[in-house]
Structure 1
């Protein structure tokens, strides 16, 4: 089996996950990059969308979870995103998700906080 990858980067959505009460009320922007492992060799021959992953579905899953979830920790949000992609996109054998908070509410800190997880279908 081939281990091909599709990268989808820069998925941005506004959400309400955060440890501080104001993060769950005011919300903030999140940015997500995903790397998807799947076999795209058939689509490479047929040129048919049904033989590959329509990555619009992955973008939709990520945006929906960011916009509707209210978790205290971004660790819970990123794990939920990874598990949901595997559950809903059956052609994917492994997923890597990088979630960033571009404007972390930490005094005197202008950087970004990022988490990365990799999950494999069992």
Structure 2
């Protein structure tokens, strides 16, 4: 069994997210963490980016997806984003967290974390 992962932490994005009328009219900052299972051995042996998960391409796609979305719930955003990453980047397993700081005045952060797929 292989336990290799590629991770991205604290990716700052902005999108329309929320259930209140005022939230539907502004873009809010969201921070995304994602850990994705992969086997890095071929990439390490070949020193070839095409043999691993391209975190630049993944971060660009996440940023684009969030910017174009307008979900009410971060739960929906998390689910759709996980589906996109699994489909477009052939990720078998991932853990995804979305942080929405400022959503609750008394809390420094709120968010959701999900895990999808079978961990190798």
Q: Report if TM-score (shorter chain) is over 0.5.
A: yes
Q: Alpha carbon RMSD of aligned pairs, Å? A: 1.3
Q: CA deviation at 1:31?
A: 0.2
**Correspondences of 1:1-122 after superposition (within 5 Å):** 2-90=2-90, 92-104=91-103, 106=104, 108-120=105-117
Q: Deviations over 1:41-86 (max 9, x none)?
A: 1011111111111111210221112111111111000111111000
Give 1:99 deviation, angstroms: 0.3
**Any gaps of 5 or more consecutive residues in structure 1?**
none
Q: Residues 61 and 81 of structure 1 are in contact (CA less than 8 Å); yes or no, is this contact kept in structure 2?
A: no
With normalisation by structure 2, the TM-score equals 0.91
Aligned residues: 118
- In structure 2, stretches of 5+ residues that fail to align are none
CA distance in 2: counterparts of 1:64 and 1:51, whole angstroms? 24
TM-score (norm 1): 0.90
More displaced 10-residue stretch of structure 1: 24-33 or 58-67: 58-67
> Are the counterparts in 2 of residues 2 and 41 from structure 1 also a CA contact under 8 Å?
no
Structure 1 residue ranges, 4+ long, deviating more than 3 angstroms after superposition: none
